[in-house]
Amino acid sequence: MKLRSKAAALLLLALAALLLALLSLRASRAEPPAPPARPASAPQRHPASAPARLPGPGAFPGAGPRARRRRPPRPRPRAGRRGAASLEKLARRPGELRSFQAVLPPELWIHLAVVACGNRLEETLVMLKSAVLFSHRKIQFHIFTEDSLKPEFEKQLRQWPDSYTKKFEHRIYPITFSVGNPQEWKKLFKPCAAQRLFLPVILKDVDSLLYVDTDVLFLRPVDDIWKLLRQFNATQLAAMAPEHEIPKIGWYSRFARHPFYGSAGVNSGVMLMNLTRIRSAQFKNSMIPTGLAWEDMLYPLYQKYKNAITWGDQDLLNIIFYFNPECLYVFPCQWNYRPDHCMYGSNCKEAEREGVSVLHGNRGVYHDEKQPTFKALYEAIRDFPFQDNLFQSMYYPLQLKFLETVHTLCGRIPQVFLKQIEKTMKRAYEKHVIIHVGPNQMH
């Protein structure tokens, strides 16, 4: 009996070993082990020529140090689903900046121009600061200034934090006039103001441009006014706001001694331009029966009307668009809100509905006590520390300052000044905290 039991046990062990070998052979055929690495000069062997062998003990997974496992294949990203980092790597060329914004095509940049001479350094820097604080897209600043102010502009802009300087690039240009007497142009109205008339000639590589005076403040992203370019029809090549909403009390309708656009004229402190169209257009005029190119028209136009104009380059623009009304797109007063819109009673209905989008503190109201609401907004942006919280360091102090201005005509409508800037700050806060920080990390 004992011999029979031992024989049965040995038979079972043999059968188990045979079964295990067969299973191993089947597995090795389904998933052959990776061949060892060969030198580049070694001859290639074809697997079909090798005789089939039963796997040895080291062929089983985990059986020894030479055992090999195949790594699972890495999932490949689907086409069109690359992240921003991959796009940056694809778009960047050797020697270019690593910033993804830096490789965006030029048509996706916002181009902003300003002319600053005399004592306009601080105003200009505050205007540029307001543009950078709320903008989403990258901005190219074109700063036209006197040689004496150039080093200070460079110094001040370099001192801004990296989180803001990466949102813009800037170029500084000298004051130049391509036609006529430069001294005449420079002294026309305010120092250097006539330079804006020559921007289509100087900025030959720029397709579209937003020009603003130094005393302008953005209370919402520059991106929003830039979008108005899309609303131009086939003949329009520039956009401005009316000089006044009520023609019978407007300056042009009462005092102008020259032609002007529409019933109340237009204000050139905020001017959106399609420079490509301006450079290629032929403008109707009162000097010759045929059209004239922009550059060819400027000096003869000035010579004809120089004894009749009061507001310099703005009057010349009004004359140009009087003869070419189809070329002008007129945007609402909320994009060029001035003291005239509230000091005689509130007369900008778009600002009452949506709030002031672009504030224009002409007549020096940022620096005197005539319009405390304008001065309060200017000082709030000027004194705002870049890295601080917008609500705590700008909006709440601004509300308190506005309480001190309720006795003035413009101060009686604080919601007009605060509505858009509050909305802009909320969007900036939500973008920073909820998107970048994440809702689960807020306490």
Q: DSSP string covering 23-34, please?
A: HHHHHHHHSPPP
What are the helix (H) ranges across 31-120? 84-91
What's the mean pLDDT in 400-412?
91
DSSP string, 127-144: HHHHHHHH--S-EEEEEE
The pLDDT, as a whole number, for residue 263 is 94
**Considering only 1-15, 73-87, 391-405, which range has the smallest mean pLDDT?**
73-87
- Which candidate, 186, 194, 141, 162, places its Cα nearest to that of 316? 194
Which pTM value belongs to this model? 0.74
Q: Across residues 116-138, what is the average pLDDT?
A: 95
Q: Which is nearest to 254 in space by CA: 363, 340, 333?
A: 340
The pLDDT value given to residue 186? 80
Burial degree of 270 (CB within 10 A; 0-12, 13-18, 19+): buried
Check: CB of residue 54 under 8 Å from CB of residue 19: no
- pLDDT over 50 (residue 285): yes
Neighbours of 11 (CB within 10 A): 10
Contacts of 372 (CB under 8 A, 6+ apart): 401, 404, 405, 408, 410, 411
pLDDT band for position 2 (cuts 50, 70, 90)? very low
pLDDT of amino acid 11: 65
Task: List alpha helices for 195-235, DSSP H.
Answer: 199-202, 222-226
For the cut 60, the answer to whether the pLDDT of residue 5 exceeds it is no
Report the distance separating Cα 23 and Cα 343, nearest Å: 95
Q: 307: burial class by Cβ within 10 Å (0-12, 13-18, 19+)?
A: exposed
| C-alpha distances in Å from residue 109, one per residue of 103, 137, 151, 212, 216 | 10, 7, 25, 17, 20
pLDDT over 50 at 128, yes or no: yes
* Nearest by Cα to 336 from 242, 208, 232, 214: 242
Q: Is 209 helix (H, G, I), strand (E, B) or coil?
A: strand
- Residue 247: the pLDDT is 87
Q: What is the pLDDT of residue 433?
A: 64
- CA angle, 128 then 130 then 134, to 5°: 120
Judge whether residue 161 has pLDDT over 80: yes
Distances (CA, A) of 49 to 24, 44, 46: 21, 11, 6
- Residue 10 above 90 pLDDT? no
The helix (run of H) or strand (run of E) holding residue 375 is helix 372-383
CA distance 394 to 402: 12
Percentage of the chain modeled with pLDDT above 90: 57
Q: How far apart are CA 400 and CA 67, in angstroms?
A: 76
- Give the full edge-to-edge strand order of the sheet including 110-116: 168-173, 139-145, 110-116, 208-212, 266-274, 238-242, 328-330
What phi and psi values does residue 116 have, to the nearest 5 degrees? -130, 115
Lowest mean pLDDT among 41-45, 131-135, 271-275, 405-409: 41-45
In tens, the pLDDT along 179-214 reads 878 888 887 867 788 999 999 999 999 999 999 999
pLDDT surpasses 50 at 355: yes
**How do residues 90-124 score in pLDDT, each as one tens digit?**
333 333 333 334 456 656 899 999 999 999 999 99
Average model confidence (pLDDT) across the chain = 81
pLDDT confidence bin for 427, thresholds 50/70/90: confident
* Coil/strand/helix, residue 337: strand
Is the pLDDT confidence value at 249 over 80?
Answer: yes
pLDDT (mean) for 331-358: 95
Q: pLDDT by residue (tens digit) across 29-78?
A: 544 444 444 444 444 444 444 433 434 433 333 344 444 445 555 544 44
pLDDT at 390: 84
The pLDDT value given to residue 268: 95
88: confidence class by pLDDT, cuts 50, 70, 90: very low
